[in-house]
Structure 1
């Protein structure tokens, strides 16, 4: 299992989000950094988000995290055909709206302490900087001219190694080995194009959105009739990685 906070319930259903956060908290092995030319140099101000491949035992998922503000984050969950928007209301109260892209419907969950019990940092940073700093530090390198720190953490049950983009407070690589299973997060791309965020927000703004507390009043909607929505969510399988989150 891996410990992160995003993968947004980060990409799973409401109950899956809690599992996702627990996953990020375990461990990884570091993968080699790619080489980039000077023309690939980026500054922290250039970057609004990042795309990841998350894999475990042959199961692979894609996640893009877009930071609109320090209190609002958009998750594009390509493998699940879902979009999630998380909002921080202070004191670890977090609200989330889940959008089902194939059905063009959204479900809004009221702000709660239960959505991100490990803290907003799990959603915003995926692998919280505080957790990374508590690990054994191994050295530094560069990725597209950005500072990368390396660290690991070992227990009797698992080994975790992380490469961390210090200025962005985002993981570059997280790999965990536990009980004969290996799970890892790998950065595919740093996002610099604001159009990706704007297009995503415009797309979900056209969806029919419902309050989670009122779903019982919408039996006229096929997606919610006879518990189809709940069956949909129960069938979502969280990716066990270190730094994920579930709702």
Structure 2
């Protein structure tokens, strides 16, 4: 079962000066996600919170569902799903990954290979405020990323395809220990069940609801649309 999530960091401002060491390990970043169809018939908005500590990364979508990836020794990684309205959590068995890239993908919201494969358009700023703009063109879409390499956090993402545009914008970021620990304490307080034990607890109203909704465990890409649905991964995110 899940152990209590704790952090030990100094409280720092959201963006430290270029003369200070960059704080990249622990952060809580809030993104506004906007999706607009080309014909303007649909315009959806969502919020996503990235909460990152030394060995855990959380994606909290629209304050209703959260997913945690915990980095374990020997390239193992464990997933936990949190259902905020129900105050329940489901833990999955740890899985083996070939490299740390899967962890980096979840912890940074950006696939490590993106900056290698994309074209560097522009560099601005210095030190912790250094910002890099990358672009990757594919047959069906163009993806632009504005990336803080020292803080290991994305400032903005724009994905333009034939039928829709998806924009991510960083709206808030904090390294404040008290604020981050408060959010971790809330998630840690949820009643947790191992995925393997769900079959023995089908009388539980929560699990009956999950079954009726067709709840199926899957691995998310790290990017989401405005409704909180995981977007397909193709090494560009």
- Indicate the residue corresponding to 2:44 in structure 1: 59
- Indicate the residue corresponding to 1:141 in structure 2: 124
TM-score of the pair, normalised by structure 2? 0.72
- Indicate the residue corresponding to 1:3 in structure 2: none
Distance apart, 1:243 and its partner CA: 9.0
Matched-pair contact (CA < 8 Å) for 1:151–1:162: yes
Matched-pair contact (CA < 8 Å) for 1:176–1:184: yes
TM-score of the pair, normalised by structure 1? 0.70
* Residue ranges of structure 1 left out of the alignment (5+ in a row): 1-38
- Indicate the residue corresponding to 2:4 in structure 1: none
Change (3 A) 1:142 1:241: farther
Residue-by-residue CA offset, 1:183-207 (whole Å, 9 max, x unaligned): 1211111122222221122112222
Distance apart, 1:91 and its partner CA: 5.3
* Residue ranges of structure 2 left out of the alignment (5+ in a row): 1-12, 37-42, 217-226
Partner Cα distance (2:105, 2:92) in 1: 18
Residue-by-residue CA offset, 1:125-168 (whole Å, 9 max, x unaligned): 11134312321111112399611011211122211111111112
Q: State the secondary structure of the residue aligned to 1:110.
A: coil
Query: Which structure ranks higher in relative contact order (CA pairs < 8 Å, sequence separation ≥ 6)?
Result: 1
Partner Cα distance (1:210, 1:73) in 2: 19
Distance apart, 1:103 and its partner CA: 0.8
Q: State the secondary structure of the residue aligned to 1:61.
A: strand
Q: Is structure 2 residue 74 aligned with structure 1 residue 96? A: no
1:75 to 52, 59, 72: 59
